[in-house]
Chains A and B, each alone.
Chain A
Amino acid sequence: QVQLVESGGGVVQPGRSLRLSCAASGVTISGNAMHWVRQAPGKGLEWVASISYDGSTKFYAHSVEGRFTISRDNSKNTLNLQMNSLRPEDTAVYYCARDRGAVGAFPPDAFNMWGQGTMVTVSS
């Protein structure tokens, strides 16, 4: 089955860290840029971070720059998001998404495959 599966979400106290992962199955993502997008409860979509196919280029939203780090392991067909110094406003469902751009293309194109998401709750 072709899918992206996120994991690593949970409840964490403000200031603590969490690491999210996104595993691709039935599809190879090593040639595509990848993204993290989040959605706070009852709110719209907010782009978080992007990474090029080879990991050499990364972009971050202003709201997470310096606290979050996007990375990928193409040998394991996975995408990661290390989240440090978490704040209550980081509470959201976090989705990983695949870029539809041509293999190796960057900057981002539309996002044509999404995982089901993993919930992150930052609360004391």
Chain B
Amino acid sequence: DIVMTQSPDSLAVSLGERATINCKSSQSVLYSSRNKNDLAWYQQKPGQPPKLLIYWASTRESGVPDRFSGSGSGTDFTLTISSLQTEDVAVYYCQQYYTTPPTFGQGTKVEIK
């Protein structure tokens, strides 16, 4: 199974500042024939189900604010919130769907400093 490791486990950022979450996979999730990374990011607010933010490592899901961006390729990925808002307080998960079983990172909790 591919192991997904996120860092940090939690971070506190001031309103309007940048938040950066890292995700590392134990093997490459780059689908060579499509030149796409099978990597997604989800946001989960307290008491709610996860919500898809980003797929293919950098493509925003419809309706997701453009302050959320994803980058990276192969085994190293980053989710960036360019200007943190109060509604962004949540736990964020990366997930690989390159191979079965699809696996999630352990989550990163984002709070307001």
Contact = CB atoms under 8 A, between A and B. Distances in A.
Nearest to B48: A116
A58 to B, nearest CB: 10
A95 interface: yes
Interface residues of B, number: 23
Contact of B95 (A59, A110, A114, A116): A110
Contacts of A61: 101
A17 B91 CA distance: 31
Interface string B69-113: 000000000000000000000000101010111111111000000
Nearest to B40: A110
B49 A107 contact: no
Contacts of A100: 52, 55
B104 A46 contact: yes
Contacts of A41: none
B49 A110 contact: no
A95 B52 CA distance: 14
Interface string B4-31: 0000000000000000000000000000
Contacts of B55: 100, 109-110, 112
Contact of A45 (B50, B52, B61, B97): B50
B84 to A, nearest CB: 22
B91 to A, nearest CB: 8
Contacts of B103: 47
**In this complex, which of B49, B55, B93, B107 has the most chain A Cβ atoms within 10 angstroms of its Cβ?**
B49
Interface of B: 38, 40, 42, 44, 48-52, 55, 61, 93, 95, 97, 99-107
